[in-house]
């Protein structure tokens, strides 16, 4: 039985336009909406798979304000059994702070006799792209860590972890307890069904207070890049434009 | 105090990766006396092409390991090699390219040292105290952060294609030095046990291609790729796709271009039926020439491209193939 903790982050959905908050200190998600980082959607799916294979359970955790319960409920709707929110203003937390706060929860649970065999996180968050929270957490907990996990098979107290590389797939075999950071591409996150949504709506979310004050990320300011001035040259419409397109291919030297 | 650069061998096994050459170029902008390099991902002496490139980039010392236990990748153990090289070389700054390996190994060093690690840095904006700008939100936003100043080792990864690789004004000696790192069992607890090579095309074909024919949701379905593939093959290039295409299961993830896919910098990116969302743009914006084929003249890909053809890709691509003969 392997109990899994999966850590997710509430991020602005930036598929459309990116707008900064009035003070320029953060990205404003009020207009675009909020979502879970892409890699973490896959992490939730992998967590459900490990728990399903081993008869364990999935706890989903986020560090954020009350609104981030929305992301916890999304995970509850697709297989997480319970949820924890570390009550904090996420923007005040740098990657080392987040890792420290998660480590505290894991240690607290362990002290209470409830250990997590596997802790899953996203490889990097869609907004800050820090690539380090999972690795810092592994150092704090003194556990092995694999970054970029795309598929995980759990049997007994070992994990087989598959990581895609340019040349193929690298396979790790490691003992639990372990930390894995998940990369999109290996599993398809499932969609919630009605009963999942109902269950998620009613589920209790445990709220814990972080112990240490955050040091921050060292952010001095943000700026949105102005959209580049369009200097597009229209080559025409439909198949009639083919000769001009091919002329360009010759001009830039990709066709001789 | 020097700048230590984590370098990786090129995927072809000959010389340094392009990202490593970019990172060496970037490293020379940092304050410090001289640039050194440490190899990650290859045991023993680097090949002559790699050493020549190190010389060209002004590298003083090239740190390598002979530890046979590292033949199979183990990030934490490689981080020990990097840390030892940083200590023996008296490095004040440690930088790596923002590749999966670069970020992973640096994160282990930063965690072990308890120092911050800004990722995807694109520029030095101020020397004293040192401040850099880095990409966040898939490259749509730049964040200014302080780097170093604490007296310890300052660690950062550099975004791919943030600078163009350029040789140093003065070549370096590129003296090879062996690193004797203390590697314990716990450093090897997460180590690759086996590699399954991908059959057929791989991502190195995509990231190294001179021409990429991109295909997005506008393709219309998994069985609609024949003309796209034919054009890629006619141009001697690779197929790259948007995330919608991989999410729908039309093509494998290793073909995805973008923030959560590969970053490409071909001579030509011919983006067909792709809207050009920022997360896709993050992966293709360093292409030398972008041509968009799209039914929508207002699509961001069209307005950001150098050239565009408006219309149905499945009518346009066959006409282009015919014109090419
Ligand atoms: C955290 C995160 C990470 C992401 N990472 C990536 C990433 O790595 N890579 C990536 O690509 N996206 C990524 N995305 C998704 C991104 O935001 C867009 O949703 C995606 O790129 C859109 O793909 P698309 O352009 O193919 O589809 P759409 O946005 O649906 O656009 C389709 C385009 O095709 C055109 N079209 C339709 N039919 C035709 C036709 N017959 N001929 C010609 N043109 C036609 C339309 O006009 C439109 O412009 C990410 C999103 C998030 C939130």
Q: The domain that contains A68 carries what CATH number?
A: 3.40.50.620
Largest CA distance in chain B: 63
pLDDT for B270-296, tens place per residue? 999 999 998 899 899 889 999 999 999
Q: Which residue has the higher pLDDT, B311 or B207?
A: B311
| Strand pairing category for B154-158 and B175-178 | unpaired
pLDDT score of B253: 87
Q: Sorting pLDDT into bands at 50, 70 and 90, what band is B11?
A: confident
The response to whether residue B261 sits with its C-beta less than 6 Å from ligand 1 reads yes
Nearest residue on chain A to B106, alpha-carbon basis: A132
* Residue A217 belongs to some domain of the structure: no
The mean pLDDT value for A201-209 works out to 96
Dist. CA B120–CA B23, nearest whole Å: 11
Looking at the partner chain, which of B100, B111, B289 has a beta carbon nearest the beta carbon of A148? B100
How many helices (H) does chain A have, and how many strands (E)? 6, 14
pLDDT for B163-207, tens place per residue? 989 999 999 999 999 999 999 999 999 999 999 987 755 556 788
Q: How many CB atoms lie within 10 A of CB B277?
A: 22
pLDDT for A127-142, tens place per residue? 999 999 999 999 999 9
* Residue A245 belongs to some domain of the structure: no
Tokens in use for A175?
């003992």
Q: For residue B46, how many C-alpha atoms fall within 13 Å in the half-sphere facing its CB?
A: 30
Q: What is the pTM of this model?
A: 0.91
Structural domains in chain B, CATH included, are 2-188 (3.40.50.620), 204-324 (3.40.50.1220)
| Residue B113: φ, ψ to 5° | -85, -15
pLDDT > 90? residue B143: yes
> Cβ of A94 under 8 Å from any chain B Cβ?
yes
pLDDT score of B200: 59
**Residue the block writes with tokens 């890049």:** A225
pLDDT above 90 coverage of chain A, percent: 81
Alpha-carbon dihedral angle through residues A100, A103, A104, A110, given to the nearest 10 degrees: -170
pLDDT above 90 coverage of chain B, percent: 80
pLDDT for B252-268, tens place per residue? 888 999 988 888 989 99
> Cβ of A233 under 8 Å from any chain B Cβ?
yes
CB contact under 8 A, A185 and B189: no
* Residue A31 belongs to some domain of the structure: yes
pLDDT above 70 coverage of chain B, percent: 97
Distance of residue B135 Cα from the nearest chain A Cα, in angstroms: 8
Q: Sign of the CA dihedral B257, B39, A129, A60?
A: positive
Dist. CA A14–CA A170, nearest whole Å: 31
Q: Which residue has the higher pLDDT, B1 or A48?
A: A48
Q: Which residue has the higher pLDDT, B201 or B317?
A: B317
* Residue A232 belongs to some domain of the structure: no
Q: How far is CA B40 from CA A212, B24, B106, B243, B248, in A?
A: 35, 14, 11, 30, 36
Question: B37 and B62 in contact (C-beta within 8 Å)?
Answer: yes
Question: What is the gyration radius of the CA atoms in chain A, in angstroms?
Answer: 22
The mean pLDDT value for B86-106 works out to 95
Q: Sorting pLDDT into bands at 50, 70 and 90, what band is A228?
A: confident
Full residue range of the structural domain in which residue A82 is found: 4-208
Q: Sorting pLDDT into bands at 50, 70 and 90, what band is A75?
A: very high
| Closest alpha carbon to A80 in A4, A11, A184 | A4
CB contact under 8 A, B137 and A139: no
> Cβ of A245 under 8 Å from any chain B Cβ?
yes
* Residue A77 belongs to some domain of the structure: yes
* Residue A220 belongs to some domain of the structure: no
Dist. CA B24–CA B147, nearest whole Å: 18
Q: Containing H/E element for A98?
A: helix A95-111
| Closest alpha carbon to A36 in A72, A67, A4 | A72
- Of B135, B221, B224, B242, the residue with max ligand 1 atoms within 8 A of its CB, to mutate for a pocket test, comes to B242
Dist. CA B142–CA A92, nearest whole Å: 18
Among A211-215, B79-83, B259-263, name the one with the lowest average pLDDT. Answer: B259-263
User: How many structural domains is chain A composed of?
Assistant: 1
Most confident of A19-28, A220-229, B194-203: A220-229
The response to whether residue B259 sits with its C-beta less than 6 Å from ligand 1 reads yes
Percent of chain A that is helix, strand, coil (3-state, to 5)? 30, 30, 40
CB contact under 8 A, B140 and A225: yes
Which residues lie across from B2 on neighbouring strands?
A: B91
* Residue A218 belongs to some domain of the structure: no
Question: A180 and A168 in contact (C-beta within 8 Å)?
Answer: no
Contacts (Cβ under 8 Å, ≥6 apart) of A183: A39, A42, A123, A147, A148, A149, A150, A163, A164, B260
Question: B215 and B227 in contact (C-beta within 8 Å)?
Answer: no
Mean pLDDT for chain B overall = 93
Query: Does B217 appear as a known binding residue?
Result: yes
| Residue B219: φ, ψ to 5° | -60, -40
The mean pLDDT value for A51-69 works out to 97
* Residue A234 belongs to some domain of the structure: no
Q: Which residue has the higher pLDDT, B199 or B140?
A: B140
pLDDT > 90? residue B29: yes
pLDDT for A30-56, tens place per residue? 767 899 998 999 999 999 999 999 999
Q: Sorting pLDDT into bands at 50, 70 and 90, what band is A19?
A: confident
Q: How far is CA A1 from CA A117, B246, B249, in A?
A: 9, 33, 32
Dist. CA A25–CA A9, nearest whole Å: 18
Among A107-111, B30-34, B39-43, B240-244, name the one with the lowest average pLDDT. Answer: B30-34
Q: How far is the CA of B274 from the centre of ligand 1 (A)?
A: 5
Tokens in use for A95?
């990657």
| Closest alpha carbon to B314 in B209, B216, B206, B212 | B216
């Amino acid at each position: 039985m392997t109990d899994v903790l999966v850590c997710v982050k509430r991020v602005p959905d930036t598929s459309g336009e990116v707008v900064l908050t009035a003070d320029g200190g953060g990205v404003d998600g009020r207009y675009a909406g909020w979502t879970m980082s892409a890699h973490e959607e896959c992490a939730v799916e992998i967590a459900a798979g490990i728990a399903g294979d081993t008869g364990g359970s999935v706890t989903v955790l986020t560090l954020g304000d009350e609104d981030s319960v929305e992301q916890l409920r999304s995970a509850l709707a697709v297989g997480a059994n319970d949820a924890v929110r570390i009550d904090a203003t996420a923007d005040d937390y740098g990657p080392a702070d987040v890792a420290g706060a998660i480590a505290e929860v894991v240690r607290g649970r362990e002290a209470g006799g409830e250990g997590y065999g596997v802790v899953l996180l996203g490889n990097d968050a869609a907004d800050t792209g820090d690539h380090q929270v999972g690795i810092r957490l592994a150092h704090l907990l003194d556990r092995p860590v694999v970054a970029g996990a795309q598929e995980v098979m759990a049997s007994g107290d070992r994990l087989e972890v598959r990581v895609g590389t340019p040349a193929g797939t690298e396979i790790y075999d490691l003992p639990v307890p372990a930390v894995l950071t998940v990369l999109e591409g290996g599993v398809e996150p499932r969609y919630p069904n009605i009963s999942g949504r109902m269950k998620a709506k009613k589920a209790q979310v445990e709220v814990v207070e972080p112990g240490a004050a955050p040091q921050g990320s060292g952010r001095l300011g943000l700026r949105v890049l102005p959209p580049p001035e369009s200097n597009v040259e229209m080559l025409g419409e439909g198949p009639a434009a083919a000769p001009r397109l091919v002329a360009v291919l010759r001009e830039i030297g990709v066709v001789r | 105090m020097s700048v230590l650069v984590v370098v990786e061998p090129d995927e072809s096994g000959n010389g340094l990766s392009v990202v490593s050459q970019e990172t060496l170029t970037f490293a020379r902008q940092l304050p410090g006396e001289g640039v050194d390099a440490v190899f990650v991902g290859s045991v023993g002496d680097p090949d002559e092409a790699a050493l020549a490139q190190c010389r060209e980039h002004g590298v003083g010392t090239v740190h390598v390991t002979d530890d046979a236990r590292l033949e199979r990748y183990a990030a934490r153990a490689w981080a020990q090699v990097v840390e030892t090289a940083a200590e023996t070389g008296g490095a004040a700054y440690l930088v790596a390219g923002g590749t999966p390996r670069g970020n992973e190994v640096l994160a282990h060093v930063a965690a072990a040292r308890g120092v911050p690690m800004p990722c995807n840095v694109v520029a030095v904006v101020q020397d004293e105290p040192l401040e850099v700008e880095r990409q966040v939100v898939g490259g749509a936003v730049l964040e200014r952060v302080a780097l170093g100043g604490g007296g310890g080792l300052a660690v950062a990864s550099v975004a791919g294609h943030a600078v163009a690789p350029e040789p140093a004004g003065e070549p370096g000696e590129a003296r090879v030095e062996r690193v004797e790192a203390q590697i314990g069992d716990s450093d090897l607890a997460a180590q690759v046990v086996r590699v399954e090579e991908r059959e057929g095309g791989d991502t190195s074909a995509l990231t190294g291609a001179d021409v990429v024919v991109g295909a997005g949701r506008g393709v219309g379905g998994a069985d609609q790729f024949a003309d796209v593939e034919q054009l890629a093959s006619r141009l001697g290039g690779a197929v790259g796709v948007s995330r919608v295409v991989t999410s729908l299961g039309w093509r494998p993830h290793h073909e995805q271009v973008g923030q959560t896919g590969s970053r490409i910098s071909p001579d030509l990116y011919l983006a067909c039926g792709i809207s050009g969302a920022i997360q896709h743009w993050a992966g293709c914006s360093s292409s030398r020439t972008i041509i968009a084929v799209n039914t929508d003249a207002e699509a961001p890909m069209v307005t950001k491209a150098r050239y565009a053809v408006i219309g149905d890709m499945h009518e346009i691509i066959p006409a282009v193939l015919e014109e090419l003969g």
